[in-house]
Amino acid sequence: MATIAIKNVDERLHRQIKALASLRGKKMGEVVNEALRLWILLTAKGASMDDWMKLEEEARNDNAVYSREESTLRASHPGEYVALANGRLLGTYDTAKKAYAEVLNAGARHGIVTRIEEKQTKVIDLGWSVMEQLSQ
């Protein structure tokens, strides 16, 4: 079990939680664990957070490989499509579809397929609907 110190907790909320925890014979750590589980459940909106975390881990590995190989690929295979999965480079292809198929064949949980070219980060404005859904 981890030990964490939390700053800026609402004092009134803290008093209420302590009182409720005491009434129910629970320790603060148990209450915080329950609250965190509930928050994840609400945030995940019905999806399996465990699956998502595993996916995030594979994605991190694939992205690390892509970052490491990006400049070499740009020099050697410009304009082609690269496929990565299972934390390794699968190959470069002349069409995106060939690269997609290769990722599927690798049987990985996650894959990257992208055109080999210089990229700038594209910013996507999410708008108010996302905030509305967060509050529901």
Partner 1 sequence: MKLRQKYDKGEDPPYPAIDGELYDPLMKRSMTIRARVDSGFSGSLLLGIADYVGLGLQHYEEPENAIAGRLVTGISVPLRASRGVIRLGSEHLECPVYATPLLSKPLLGRQLLKAWVTTLDGPAQTTVIRSEEGSTTRTRGKKE
Q: Is 13 exposed, middle or buried (0-12, 13-18, 19+ CB in 10 A)?
A: exposed
Please report, in angstroms and rounded to a whole number, the separation of the first and last CA atoms in the chain: 31
CB of 99 to partner 1, least distance (A): 8
Closest CA to 85 of 73, 98, 72, 102: 102
CB of 54 to partner 1, least distance (A): 11
User: Which residues in this chain contact partner 1 in the complex, by CB under 8 A?
Assistant: 43-47, 49, 51-52, 55, 59, 62-63, 66-67, 70, 85, 96-97, 100-101, 103-104, 108-114, 119, 121-131, 133-134, 136
Q: Between 80 and 111, whose beta carbon lies closer to partner 1?
A: 111
Q: Between 32 and 96, whose beta carbon lies closer to partner 1?
A: 96
Strand pairing partners for 111? 85
